[in-house]
Structure 1
Amino acid sequence: MTENSYNLTGRVAVVTGASSGIGAATARALAAGGARVALLARRVDRIEALAKEIDGIAVPADVTGAASLARAAATVRAELGRPDLVVANAGVMNGAPFATAEPAEWSAMVDTNVTGLLNTGKAFVDDLVAAAADGRAADLVHVGSIASHEVFPGYAVYSATKAGVAALTRGLRLELGPRGVRVRAVEPGITESELGETMLDAEGRATLEDIRQQVGPIPASDVAEVIAWSAAAPARLNVAQLIVLPTAQG
């Protein structure tokens, strides 16, 4: 349960990457506010357990596949109705010096961080436009990163994918805003999560751990509260960009 609740009664929410970290925390925050929540992720056991906890539904999905997202969207509509709040959170972070990095890790980041957001938006855009046409709040939230603004050694490709997220958010805001859909980017700094745990480069993992220890990460629930707060704002208002950092990170 989150510390604060925001009025999201009647909303139908979708959260990708909901099996851990910011995604799981966001699902809890939205449910606490009264939303019915669909949890999308590949790790079925985790989202099934969380779905029981928050009285949501677990929908296995791989955001890198457009067909997988289309099937997930159909399941959400059948079980909860048309969603009006979509949090595209699924992401991968790999760090390594450019000269020695494994291209497969680059592909994983591009496929999830960029293509995954495109697939998510495409799967649910008609639902969001329909909600807005009915006079209801409609939100597409992209979870980006402070790395879209600050580049860290060894994380050039990750930063490039998150800069793409920021640009995509701005572009979709111009297209969908006039149709009543609020598109926003929430860009966290150092946050407690599983990001980076599977990267191949040992030095990259060590550097990330050093940064986390020096700065002190914020809990994922802090980012989730910001997402819930922004979604609960009046439909006429879009909080278009939110950078969420540990105070010590500056």
Structure 2
Amino acid sequence: MSYENLAGRTAVVTGAASGIGEAIAVRLAAEGAKVALLARRAERLDAVAEKIRADGGQALAVVADVTDDASVATAVERIHAAYGTVDLVVNNAGIALMNAIEDAPAEESQRMIDTNVTGVVRVTSAFAKDLTAAAAQGRSADLVNISSIAAHLTGFQGIAVYGATKAAVTQLSALLRGEFGPRDVRVTNIEPGVTETEIATHVEDDGMREQLAGLVEAFGALAPAELADVVAYVTSRPRHMNLRQLMVLPTRQV
């Protein structure tokens, strides 16, 4: 399904080098949006941008680290110079480093907090004036935060810090809607369930890997392109309509 009113939008997608972020960037570009792709992996980011351009879309690869103020500020300057004001921001960048709390290195927990929470705040703040300006001009303006069903799970081992960061994103999204909604900027929080991503490659503990594999076996997994379709759908609704909270799960996941 195509969503024609995404044409002409200017989007920023963080964590766009792979997985869900890549799929979102590709989909928005296919719908006619100009898309700035942010991630740390330059080679992979360039490959995604080239893929978009080869399919007739517009893409700008911007190497950036959402945990670094100067890096994000430089990215904003590059995006403004190339595309002007942004009216669609997707905070997708995130990491999951799974360990039982007694085994979790402090630096890993801090890295998740810096990326999954502070990074979302940093990018949102950097583009807040863009979003409110676009809305004031009568254009659609969207902030989409990719959280996780892990924000609500209590029965799985090794996800305490990761789940807490995603719970923070979910609550942050709700509170940001209180700030942005009265100024006609939509805020959407999306909580995917089991999804085909690179998370398993970041897990060193054999038990944790088996746990993740068991989830996929039991429930199946969403494809990144399916979540990208959800993002395209919610951001293409009439500007007076805000789908604020979506939990997107494989049918068998309960």
Name which of 204, 207, 213 aligns with 1:209: 213
Instruction: Write the distance in 2 (CA, Å) between the matches of 1:123 and 1:70.
Output: 7
Amino acid at match of 1:5: S
Name which of 4, 11, 14 aligns with 2:12: 14
* Offset at residue 185 of structure 1 (A): 0.3
Name which of 185, 189, 196 aligns with 1:185: 189
Instruction: Write the distance in 1 (CA, Å) between the matches of 2:99 and 2:198.
Output: 17
Instruction: Write the distance in 1 (CA, Å) between the matches of 2:204 and 2:182.
Output: 43
* Offset at residue 202 of structure 1 (A): 2.8
Aligned to 1:75: 78
Instruction: Write the distance in 1 (CA, Å) between the matches of 2:116 and 2:217.
Output: 25
Note if 1:120 corresponds to 2:117: no
Matches of residues 94-173 of structure 1 in structure 2 within 5 Å? 94-151=97-154, 152-173=156-177
Name which of 58, 61, 65 aligns with 1:58: 61
**Does the CA contact (< 8 Å) of 1:94 and 1:196 recur in 2?**
no
**Does the CA contact (< 8 Å) of 1:5 and 1:29 recur in 2?**
no
* Offset at residue 117 of structure 1 (A): 0.2
- The 3-state SS of whatever aligns with 1:38 is strand
* Offset at residue 211 of structure 1 (A): 1.4
Name which of 38, 41, 45 aligns with 1:40: 38
Instruction: Write the distance in 2 (CA, Å) between the matches of 1:241 and 1:172.
Output: 12
Question: Pairwise CA RMSD of aligned residues?
Answer: 1.1
- The 3-state SS of whatever aligns with 1:247 is coil
Instruction: Write the distance in 2 (CA, Å) between the matches of 1:32 and 1:12.
Output: 13
Amino acid at match of 1:11: R
Aligned to 2:178: 174
* Offset at residue 37 of structure 1 (A): 0.5
Instruction: Write the distance in 1 (CA, Å) between the matches of 2:190 and 2:203.
Output: 23
* Offset at residue 200 of structure 1 (A): 3.4
What TM-score results when the alignment is normalised by the length of structure 1?
0.96
Give the aligned length: 247
Amino acid at match of 1:164: A
Instruction: Write the distance in 2 (CA, Å) between the matches of 1:245 and 1:76.
Output: 33
**Does the CA contact (< 8 Å) of 1:96 and 1:203 recur in 2?**
no
1:83-135 CA distance string (max 9 Å, x none)? 10000000101211111222222111101100110111011111001000101
1:166-198 CA distance string (max 9 Å, x none)? 110011000111011111101100000102422
* Offset at residue 206 of structure 1 (A): 2.3
Amino acid at match of 1:117: V
1:128-180 CA distance string (max 9 Å, x none)? 01000101000010000011122322211111000000110011000111011
Q: State percent identity of aligned pairs.
A: 49
**Gaps (5+ residues) in structure 1?**
none
* Offset at residue 199 of structure 1 (A): 2.9
What TM-score results when the alignment is normalised by the length of structure 2?
0.94
Aligned to 2:22: 24
